[in-house]
Amino acid sequence: MKRWTRVLLAALFVAVSAAALAGCQNTMPRLIFDNQSECDGIAITITHRATGQKTEDRLPVGVRREYPVEWDAWYDYVVDYTRATGPRGLVCPEISRGEVRLPAGSVPQVFLLQSEPEATATPAP
């Protein structure tokens, strides 16, 4: 076998191995919450439906966090914008609830958090 053929086969082996390893990374099931809103400190609650185990967190503006979960398990989630602070004294009025399950081998579920802060209603004098 000629030298350039061995070099080509070695390079091909390295490329295939690198691609296989890259495919194995990040295979753990997880939920990702990405605060793209102007609301600072959005409250996140993730509850494993079968065990009742809760994960609670607060997301600052511009922060993206990953939360490990189990394959094929149902989770309930609450995204509470009302506990966050908006810019210039505005409030974030939304609460979002849902459920999610990640089938084995699926990609992470990403939640892009977006909310429009509103002015608080003040009574006229």
* pTM for this model (two decimals): 0.72
Domains annotated for the chain, with CATH where assigned, are 38-116 (2.60.40)
Q: What is the DSSP letter of 85?
A: B
Percent helix, strand, coil in the chain (nearest 5)?
20, 40, 40
How many C-beta atoms surround the C-beta of residue 91 within 10 A? 17
- 11-22 confidence digits (pLDDT tens): 555 554 444 444
Token output for 123:
């009574």
Order of strands across the sheet that contains 30-35: 64-68, 30-35, 109-113
Instruction: Please tell me the distance from the alpha carbon of residue 44 to that of residue 56, in angstroms, as a whole number.
Output: 6
Tens digit of each residue's pLDDT (9 = 90 or more) over 19-78: 444 454 458 999 999 999 999 999 999 999 999 999 999 999 999 999 999 999 999 999
- At residue 20, the pLDDT reads 43
